[in-house]
Amino acid sequence: MAASLAAEMAQRAVRALEQRGPTRHGSGFTCDLSPAELVAIEAAGCEPLELVMGSAIWHVGFQMLPSWSSGGEITQLSQAMYGAREAAMRRMEREAASVGADGIVGVRISIDFHRWGAGLAEFSTVGTAIRSRSRRASLRTPRGSVFTSDLSGQDLWTLLRTGYRPLGLVMGSCVYISSRQSVGAWLGSRTRNVELTNLTEGMYTARELAMERMDREARSYGADGIVGVKLTERAHAWGNRVIEFLALGTAVHRWTDQIDAAPPSMVLPLDR
Amino acid sequence: MTGDPRRAWGSTLSVAELAAIRSCGFRPVGQVMGSCVHQFWPGIYGTGMYGGAGIMGGGLYGGYSLTQELPEYAGALRRARRLALDRMSAEAAGAHGVVGVRLNLRRVDVGASVIEFTALGTAVQADGLTPEPGFRPFLSLLSGTDFARLLRSGYVPCGVVMGVCALWVASGWRTAMQLGSWYGQEVQQYSEAAMRARDLAMASLRRDMAEVSADGAVGGDVTMEIHEWEGGRGPEHMVEFLSLGTAVTRFFDGPARDDLPHPVIRLT
C-alpha cells in the first residue's frame, strides 16, 4: 500500500471514531475469534453473531468395577462422560439457534475434575455462533439444525472452498480400566523382555470403541467424512489404571464438486 | 504525550508490528501505562473470601437460600479496571489510540482481597492528522499485526470491554442428596449457576460495548473460576466469570476483491 493510501486509511478510521453515533444496547456481535479468524470468516461470506457457551456439572457416580484381574470398560463412566459433554453441547447449540445462527465455529470442550469439589466434574463448551450473510447460502445442516465444529475461521474458509461443509462435532468416549496380571504371570514375566499382551489388547479395544462410537455419530449425521480427528487419553481423577479414550472430530459432507480455489501459492517466511 | 518529533518514541512493538501499523498509516508516539490497586470490601459476605476462615465460611451467609450475585466483588474489578485504563488514556492524551494493551489482573493479597490492574500499551497517531481536543483515544488489546488485519478488513478498535459476574451458589437439599448418591447424574443447581454467571457477565460486556458504540467485540478471552470452601452445611461455591475483549467499529464495508486473503503453503 502506498504511503498516501495508508494515511488515507488511518484518517478514515479516526474520522469514523469521531463521528460515530450511539448504538443500540444489545446490538453488535461478540466473539472469541482472533482478527485473522474474523477476516477469514467474513471472506467466507459469514458474520459472527455471539459467543455461545454451555455448561454441565455432573456428579460422577460409583460403579462396581469389572473383576479385578480381567479389566474392561466402565460403562457407567463412559456414559456419564459422553452424556455430560452432550448436555453442554446441546445447551450451546440451543443458544446459537436462538440468535439465528447457521453454526458454531472454534468449539472448545473442557473438563475440570477439581474446582467444584470431590466427585464433581464440570464440562463446558464455548464457541462463536456465525451466520451466512446471504440467506440463500445458509450453512445449516441438511436437516436444518445448527452445525458445530472445532475448526478455526481459517479452516472453515478453506473447507468451504474445497467443496465440503461442516455438519457437527462428533465424539466417542470409552473409559477403560486396565487389567492386572495374575500373580503367576507376573512372577513368570517380570524379569523378561516381553509384550504385555493383555494390556495391549485392552488399550487397543478401548481406542477402537471410542473411534467406533465417533464414526457411528458421524454416520447418523449423514457425513461423508470426519476431519481433524483427535484421539486423547486421559486419566482424569481415577488413578492411573482408569483411562478415558476420547475421539473428537468434525463431520463434513460434500456439497459441491467445484473447488473454488486458486491453487495455494508457496511462501518462504523470513522469520524464524 | 504529543509525539514531539525531537524525542525518540518508546514502544513494546516488535518490528513486524511496527511495519504492520505503518502500512495502515499509523505511527507510534510512545509507551503509556496506567495502574490501580484496589481493595475489595465484601460487606457482610465476610473477609475470608478464599480461605473459608472468615465470616463467609463461618455461616453469616446462611440467610442465602438462593443463588445470587455478589455485586461488591464485580464492582471492585470493574472500578479497578476502569481507573487503570483511564490513567493510561490520560497518558496517551494527544494520540489517537493505544494498541497492544496488556491488561494484567493480579491478586496482591488474597486474604485481604486486594487486586491490582495494570495496563501497558503503545500510543499511536494517524499520519497527517492531529486529534481534536477532547478526542478519547481508542484502546485495543490486540497486537500491532492484529490491529492492521482489522483495519484492512474494515474495522477499527474503539475500546476495551469487560464482562464480569461473581455469583454465590446456593446448595439446596436436592443438591445435597445428589452429591451423596451412588448414581452418576447432573447437579442442576450448579449447572444453572454456571450458565447464569455467564449470562450476567455477557450482559455486562454488552453494556460496555454500548457505552463505546461498538459494532462488535473480538478476541473475547473467557475465564471462569470457581472458589470452593467448606461451609457450615457442606461445600460452598462462588463462581467468578470474567471476559475481556476489544470492541470494534465498522468504518468501511470489507476489503476490495483483490485484497481478499489468498491461500499459501508455508515452506517452513
Alpha-carbon span B37 to B58, nearest angstrom: 28
Sign of CA dihedral A217, A219, A222, A226: positive
Per residue in A202-229, pLDDT (tens digit) is 888 999 999 999 999 999 999 999 999 9
Stated pTM of the model: 0.86
**In chain A, what percentage of residues exceed pLDDT 90?**
48
Chain A: give the shortest CA distance to residue B171, in Å.
12
Q: How far is CA A181 from CA A3, A184, A187, B35, in A?
A: 74, 8, 9, 61
Taking only the tens place, the pLDDT of each residue in A80-108 is: 888 899 999 999 999 999 999 999 999 99
Q: What is the mean pLDDT of chain B?
A: 82
C-alpha to C-alpha distance for B73 and B115, rounded to whole angstroms: 11
Kindly determine whether residue B268 and residue A268, on different chains, have CB atoms separated by under 8 Å: yes
- At residue A90, φ and ψ (nearest 5 deg) are -60, -40
pLDDT digits (tens, 9 = 90+) for B83-93: 999 999 999 99
Q: Once rounded to an integer, what is the mean pLDDT over residues A15-35? A: 85
Identify which has the larger pLDDT, B68 or B235: B68
Which one of B151, B217, B251 has the shortest CB-CB distance to A30?
A: B217
More confident call, B194 vs B61? B194
Predicted local confidence at residue B259, as pLDDT: 66
Yes or no, beta carbons of A33 and B153 under 8 Å apart: no
For A159, which residue in chain B has the nearest alpha carbon? B263
Q: Which residues contact residue B263 at a Cβ distance below 8 angstroms, ignoring those fewer than 6 apart?
A: A158, A161, A261, A262, A264, A265
A34 near B CB under 8 A:
yes
CB contact under 8 A, B219 and A33: yes
pLDDT digits (tens, 9 = 90+) for B47-65: 344 333 333 433 344 445 6
Integer Cα distance of B170 and B187 in angstroms: 12
Pick the residue from chain B with its C-alpha nearest to A43.
B260
- The answer to whether the beta carbons of residues B114 and B39 sit under 8 Å apart is yes
- Give A12 to chain B, closest Cα distance, Å: 7
Residues B16, B145: contact at Cβ < 8 Å?
yes
**Whether B163 contacts B203, CB under 8 Å:** yes
Write down the residue that cell numbers 486421559 correspond to.
A234
Q: With contact defined as beta carbons under 8 Å apart, do A161 and A46 qualify?
A: no
Is the CB of residue A229 less than 8 Å from the CB of residue A149?
no
Residues near B46 by beta carbon (within 8 Å), at least 6 away in sequence: B54, B55, B56, B57, B58, B60, B61
Residue A62: predicted pLDDT:
64
- Name the band, by pLDDT with cuts 50, 70 and 90, for residue A182: low
pLDDT tens per residue, range B8-45:
888 888 999 999 999 999 999 999 999 999 887 655 44
Q: What is the pLDDT of residues B195-225, one digit of tens each?
A: 999 999 999 999 999 999 999 999 877 888 8
Nearest one of B240, B259, B68 to B153, comparing CA atoms: B259
**ipTM exceeding cut-off 0.85 for this assembly:** no
Residue pLDDT, tens place only, B153-172? 899 999 999 999 988 887 77
Select from B96, B222, B226 the Cβ nearest to the Cβ of A32: B222
Nearest residue, CB atoms, B179 vs list A18, A32, A59 = A59
pLDDT band at A181 (very low <50, low <70, confident <90, very high): low
pLDDT of residue B131: 87
The overall longest dimension of chain A from CA atoms, in Å, is 84
| B173 confidence band (pLDDT: 50, 70, 90) | confident
Q: Considering only residues 151 to 190 of chain A, which have any Cβ-Cβ distance to chain B shorter than 8 Å?
A: 157-158, 161
Helix (H) or strand (E) holding B26: strand B26-39
Give the nearest partner residue to B198 out of A18, A53, A119, using CB atoms. A53
Contact criterion met (CB < 8 Å) for A10 and B142: no
> Inter-chain contact B217–A28, Cβ cutoff 8 Å?
yes
Region of B245 (left: φ > 0; alpha: ψ -120 to 50; beta: rest) is beta
Decide: A235 and A72 in contact? Cβ < 8 Å. no
What the block records as the C-alpha cell of B93 is 492524551
B216, containing H or E segment: strand B216-231
Could you say which residues from 94 to 133 on chain A have a Cβ atom under 8 Å away from some Cβ of chain B? 115-117, 119-120, 122, 124, 126
Name every chain A residue with its beta carbon within 8 A of the beta carbon of B52. Answer: none
> How confident is the model at residue B55, as a pLDDT?
37
pLDDT of residue B58: 37
Q: Is A30–B245 a contact, with Cβ atoms under 8 angstroms apart?
A: yes
Confidence of residue A200 (pLDDT cuts 50, 70, 90): confident
Each residue's pLDDT tens digit, A136-158? 889 999 999 999 999 999 999 98
Whether B262 sits inside 8 A of A262 (CB atoms) is: yes
Q: Which residues of A touch B221 (CB under 8 A)?
A: 32
Percent pLDDT > 70 in chain B is 81
Among all residues of chain B, which has the CA nearest to that of A31?
Answer: B218
Return the C-alpha torsion angle B142, B144, B149, B153, nearest 10.
Answer: 80
Report in angstroms the alpha-carbon separations of B97 from A31, B9, B26, B55, B130: 22, 15, 10, 45, 12
Calpha distance B239→B204 (Å, rounded)? 16
Q: What is the pLDDT of residue B144?
A: 93
Nearest to A228 by CA among A174, A176, A175, A168: A168
